[in-house]
């Protein structure tokens, strides 16, 4: 369906105002006086109805006489045709050329609106004359077949729209159409081919209009009637087919009256109220539109009534509009007449913008373009409004600057925080890596020892091969970890560099900014927060070390107690070694444990398992980690480096150190006797040790699960003959307590231990390599220069006073000598 749209060119025109004064009715002639004078077809004079005013009052401007000038003014003798020809005809002719036109009659009740618009048989009104003009023009056109005329007729009664061309019309609603503006949804449009047909429809519609007899008018219109004629014309120019559409709206308004004047009541009163409401809205629109032209933009209350919405185009849009102000000459209508003329005078200022409605058959693209243009204009407007709102809401520049600064600082703080977190993670990773490699190197040392020992015993044996393979694995691990550590180190350096950059940015911001003190405080506050995070990390690391150290100490005590020593023995042993046991008696956490019944006591803080079970937690002592212990010489806490680590719960070992007595393997479970035929060098139970250890402390040995299982690695080289095994077993050792001697993996996993010592560990249990949960490997390392409890334990357990010799020149001899 082709659409019609206005071309870009607009013609601004002013609303035409014509005043028509009707003659006095016969009734009025009898009682009223004519007070309206029309001069020169333009001037309207309303005389003071008070006849007592004399010449002097008029000279001194004390009369109520009013004088107006309009586009057209018609006196009582003028016919509707006169009005039409003079003021309307050209406008109506424009409709055939594609222009919109609106003609409305405005005036008080009984002033002649209906007479002017509809007329009589003898004096046809403007509607009739207009229709005739339209069809005459169409007829005169050579291509009359290309015209299409449609007609609709509606009334607005009590703010409800009815279709006057429908017998029983329902309520119709107004709709806003982007193309056509305000339209009445569902309004019937009848195609007509002659003026007579329209007049027929007009009469039909008028008969359906709501009229009532009032005091002022026997057939007073109670509604506003709008007759709309649309003339559509197809024409072909050299480029394309065009459609020209003109629209004529002829409006007969209801009379404006006061209830008191019309003596109305009930329904009539309500009608009057609504009529007045619409007319008041119309008057307000006219006022606003008049003001708009004089003072610029003003709000026009079109939406205040249905009438003003329907007339919107006619009042300010694309329309040539003629206002016919009808007045009564009767002196008793003075106020209404003056009031009508006052509005008519304001309406003279109203300007409309006339455009020819030309469309093309193929207007789709153009229409879309128009819609786009319209939307873009709307977008621009909204953006502008938004910008204005934002500028109103925006904070002061100084505050904004501070906010920007703070926002920037927040970003910087976030980056700093990320930087710190990254550094912590890198340091943590490096810490763990170094720790792992320390264990690797320690294990490597022992592997070298073990390999050397193994080679001395059996060249190219399977165990030696396993040890060498393990050594290679450890070497690879060390290399990989060193490489990874180097990478971490570089990343830490890069991180540190970034930290310096961030700090530099913050300081630069502080030095460049006006509010230096505030920013400096803010910066310090945030940097302190970062430093605090780092300190917390360090504290956590130290806490971990302390925790592990305590755990190790507890385990050492467990072992010591497990050997069955009593307080006196331990103290004497410690004294021999130059070890001071702090607050042994005084400590509230320490107490003697008579429950053992053998005079032994155990420190209650050392382990919850004391006296019964023994911790299976492993301890690893290594250099280079901060470990504090009580120095016997200074009586103070000395720093030495130790890291304690729990490897797994079923295995328990101590890492050996270069000068320490090396390793212990212990089997806990086996119902079998010592199996012969195994490599003696790995399974040695030195008779001497057993006898020496056992004889002074027979009870202790029996009571301790460890007593029979700890064998010094120094006996590794001793042969473990069948005789010795028998001696071991016949000395009251339980088969499942057969000690194993060897070096363990510092990584301590059963799998790894099995891998390297599988032959040895399996042997006591037959050929059940999977039975590893019973295997416990002790691998002890005693830090040099650290006379801690581990030394005490080892010295006693191994029976090797020489194990202390490198650390303490005074402490020599068998542990039994100490006690």
Ligand X SMILES: Nc1ncnc2c1ncn2[C@@H]1O[C@H](COP(=O)(O)OP(=O)(O)OP(=O)(O)O)[C@@H](O)[C@H]1O
List binding-site positions for ATP: 107-114
Closest to 143 in 3D by CA, of 239, 249, 4, 244: 244
> Closest CB to ligand X among 109 and 724?
109
Q: Does 274 bind ligand X (CB under 6 A)?
A: no
Nearest CA to 441 out of 130, 601, 652, 657 is that of 657
Q: Of 113-121, 373-381, 497-505, 675-683, which segment contacts ligand X by CB under 6 A?
A: 113-121
CA distance 680 to 461: 14
CA distances from 439 to 241, 254, 746 (A): 96, 108, 6
Contact (Cβ atoms closer than 8 angstroms) between residue 227 and residue 153: yes
C-alpha closest to that of 551 among 640, 654, 656, 624: 654
742 binds ligand X per the rule CB under 6 A: no
Q: What are the distances in angstroms from CA 409 to CA 502, 507, 508, 518, 522?
A: 10, 11, 12, 12, 9
Measured from each CB, the residue nearest to ligand X is 255
Q: To the nearest whole angstrom, how small is the minimum distance from the Cβ of residue 282 to ligand X?
A: 13
Q: Is the distance from CB of 559 to CB of 654 less than 8 angstroms? A: no
Please say which residue, 330 or 710, places its beta carbon nearer to ligand X. Answer: 330
- Binding part of the chain for ligand X, among 18-26, 284-292, 441-449, 494-502 by CB under 6 A, reads 18-26
Site for ligand X in 141-170 (CB under 6 A): none
**Cβ proximity to ligand X, 274 vs 558, nearer residue:** 274
Give 735-755 as a 3 state SS string: HHHCEECCCCCCCCCHHHHHH
**3-state DSSP helix/strand/coil percent for the chain, to nearest 5?**
50, 15, 35
**747/441 Cα distance (integer angstroms):** 11
Burial letters 368-380, b for 16+ CB under 10 A, else e: eebeeeeeeeeee
**x/- site string to ligand X, residues 634 to 673, per CB under 6 A?**
----------------------------------------
Per the annotation, binding residues are 107-114
By beta-carbon proximity to ligand X, the closer residue of 25 and 703 is 25
To the nearest whole angstrom, how small is the minimum distance from the Cβ of residue 75 to ligand X?
10
x/- track of binding to ligand X for residues 20-39 (CB under 6 A): --xx-x--------------
Taking Cα atoms as reference points, which of 85, 128, 116, 126 lies closest to residue 21?
A: 116
CA of 259: how far to CAs of 272, 276, 332, in Å?
7, 10, 16
86 lies in the binding site for ligand X (CB under 6 A): no
* Among 68, 70, 115, 627, interactor with ligand X by CB under 6 A: 115
Helices 750-762, 462-512: inter-axial angle, 10-degree rounding: 160
Q: Point out which span in 61-69, 107-115, 368-376, 413-421 binds ligand X (CB under 6 A).
A: 107-115
Query: How many residues bind ligand X, per CB under 6 A?
Result: 18
Task: Select the residue interacting with ligand X from 49, 94, 98, 107 (CB under 6 A).
Answer: 107
Least Å from the CB of residue 110 to ligand X:
4
Contact region for ligand X (CB under 6 A) — 89-97, 213-221, 571-579, 680-688?
213-221
Q: Tell the smallest beta-carbon distance from residue 164 to ligand X (Å).
A: 15
Q: Does residue 119 belong to the site contacting ligand X (CB under 6 A)?
A: no
Torsion of CA 84, 88, 93, 95, to 10 degrees: -130
Least separation in angstroms between residue 84's CB and ligand X is 12
Q: Rounded to an integer, what distance in angstroms lies between the CA atom of residue 699 and that of residue 569?
A: 14
Mark 312-331 with x for binding to ligand X (rule: CB under 6 A) and - for no binding. Answer: --------------x-----
Nearest CA to 442 among 649, 744, 147, 206? 744
Find the shortest distance in angstroms from Cβ 152 to ligand X. Answer: 21
Q: Is 617 in the site for ligand X (CB under 6 A)?
A: no
CB of 115 to ligand X, least distance (A): 3
Shortest Å distance, C-beta 277 to ligand X = 15
Q: Least Å distance between CB 360 and ligand X? A: 42
Residue 124 sits in the site that holds ligand X (CB under 6 A): no
Distance of CA 443 to the CA centre of its chain: 55
> Does position 113 bind ligand X by CB under 6 A?
yes
Q: Which stretch binds ligand X (CB under 6 A): 104-112, 363-371, 452-460, 672-680?
A: 104-112
Taking CB under 6 A as the criterion, which residues in 231-260 touch ligand X? Answer: 254-255
From the CB of 101, what's the least distance to ligand X, in Å? 21
Phi and psi torsions of 60, nearest 5°: -85, 15
Sign of the torsion formed by the C-alpha atoms of 157, 158, 159 and 163 = negative
Three-state secondary-structure class, residue 291: helix
Closest CB to ligand X among 256 and 523? 256
Which positions touch ligand X (CB under 6 A)? 22-23, 25, 107, 109-115, 217, 219-221, 254-255, 326
């Amino acid at each position: 369906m082709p659409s019609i749209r206005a071309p870009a060119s607009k013609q601004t025109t002013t609303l035409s105002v014509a005043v028509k004064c009707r003659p006095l009715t016969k009734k009025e002639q009898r009682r009223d006086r004519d007070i309206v004078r029309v001069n020169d077809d333009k001037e309207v004079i309303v005389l003071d109805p008070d006849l007592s005013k004399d010449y002097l009052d008029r000279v001194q401007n004390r009369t109520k006489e009013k004088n107006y000038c309009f586009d057209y003014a018609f006196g009582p003798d003028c016919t509707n045709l006169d009005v039409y020809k003079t003021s309307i005809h050209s406008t109506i002719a424009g409709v055939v050329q594609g222009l919109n036109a609106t003609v409305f009659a405005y005036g008080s009740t009984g002033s002649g609106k209906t007479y002017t618009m509809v007329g009589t048989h003898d004096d046809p009104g403007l509607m009739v004359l207009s229709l005739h003009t339209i069809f005459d023009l169409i007829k005169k056109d050579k291509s009359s077949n290309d015209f299409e005329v449609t007609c609709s007729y509606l009334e607005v009664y009590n703010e409800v729209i009815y279709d006057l061309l429908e017998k029983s019309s329902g309520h119709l609603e107004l709709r806003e159409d982007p193309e056509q503006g305000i339209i009445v949804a569902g309004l019937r449009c009848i195609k007509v081919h002659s003026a007579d047909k329209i007049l027929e429809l007009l009469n039909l519609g008028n008969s359906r209009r709501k009229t009532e007899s009032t005091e002022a008018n026997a057939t007073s219109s109670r509604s506003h009637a709008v007759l709309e004629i649309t003339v559509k014309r197809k024409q072909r120019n050299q480029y394309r087919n065009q459609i020209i559409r003109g629209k004529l709206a002829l409006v007969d308004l209801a009379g404006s009256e006061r209830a008191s004047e019309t003596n109305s009541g009930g329904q009539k009163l309500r009608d009057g109220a609504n009529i007045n409401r619409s007319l008041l809205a119309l008057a307000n629109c006219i006022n606003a539109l008049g003001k708009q032209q004089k003072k610029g933009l003003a709000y026009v209350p079109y939406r205040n009534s249905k009438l003003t919405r329907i007339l919107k185009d006619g009042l300010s849009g694309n329309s040539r509009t003629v206002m016919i102000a009808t007045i009564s000459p009767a002196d008793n209508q003075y106020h209404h007449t003056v009031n009508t003329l006052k509005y008519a005078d304001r309406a003279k200022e109203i300007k409309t913008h006339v455009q020819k409605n030309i469309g093309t058959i193929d207007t789709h693209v153009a229409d879309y373009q128009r819609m786009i243009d319209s939307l873009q204009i709307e977008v621009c407007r909204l953006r502008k409004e938004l910008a204005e709102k934002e500028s109103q809401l925006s904070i002061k520049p100084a505050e904004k600057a501070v906010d920007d600064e703070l926002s920037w600082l927040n970003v910087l703080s976030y980056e700093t925080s990320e930087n710190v977190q990254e550094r912590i993670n890198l340091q943590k990773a490096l810490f763990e890596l170094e720790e792992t490699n320390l264990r690797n190197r320690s294990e490597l040392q022992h592997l070298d020892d073990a390999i050397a020992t193994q080679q001395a015993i059996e060249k190219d044996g399977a165990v030696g091969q396993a040890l060498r393979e393990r050594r290679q694995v450890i070497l690879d691990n060390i290399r990989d970890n060193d490489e990874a550590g180097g990478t971490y180190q570089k990343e830490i350096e890069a991180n540190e560099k970034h930290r310096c950059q961030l700090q530099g940015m913050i300081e630069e911001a502080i030095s460049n900014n006006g509010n230096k003190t505030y920013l400096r405080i803010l910066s310090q506050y945030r940097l302190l927060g970062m430093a605090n995070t780092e300190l917390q990390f360090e504290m956590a690391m130290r806490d971990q070390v302390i925790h592990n150290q305590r755990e190790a100490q507890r385990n050492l005590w467990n072992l010591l107690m497990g050997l069955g020593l009593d307080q006196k023995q331990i103290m004497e042993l410690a004294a021999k070694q130059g070890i001071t046991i702090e607050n042994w008696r005084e400590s509230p956490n320490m107490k003697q444990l008579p429950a053992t019944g053998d005079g032994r006591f155990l420190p209650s803080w050392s382990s919850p398992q004391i006296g019964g079970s023994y911790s299976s937690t492993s301890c690893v002592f290594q250099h280079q980690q901060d470990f504090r212990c009580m120095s016997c010489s200074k009586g103070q806490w000395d720093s030495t480096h130790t890291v304690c680590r729990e490897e797994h719960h079923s295995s328990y070992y101590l890492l050996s150190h270069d000068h320490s007595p090396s390793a212990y393997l212990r089997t806990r479970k086996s119902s079998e006797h010592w199996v012969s035929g195994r490599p003696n060098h790995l399974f040695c139970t030195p008779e001497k040790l057993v006898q020496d250890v056992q004889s002074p402390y027979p009870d202790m040995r029996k009571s301790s699960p460890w007593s029979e299982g700890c064998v010094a690695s120094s006996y590794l080289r001793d042969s473990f003959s069948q005789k010795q095994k028998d001696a071991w077993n016949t000395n009251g050792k339980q088969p499942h307590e057969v000690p194993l001697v060897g070096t363990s993996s510092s990584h301590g996993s059963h799998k790894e231990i099995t891998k390297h010592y599988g032959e040895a560990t399996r042997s006591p249990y037959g050929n059940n390599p999977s039975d590893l949960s019973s295997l416990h490997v002790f691998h002890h390392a005693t830090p040099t220069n650290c006379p801690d409890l581990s030394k005490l334990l080892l010295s006693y357990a191994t029976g090797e006073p020489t194990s202390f010799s490198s650390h303490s020149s005074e402490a020599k001899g068998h542990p039994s000598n100490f006690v």
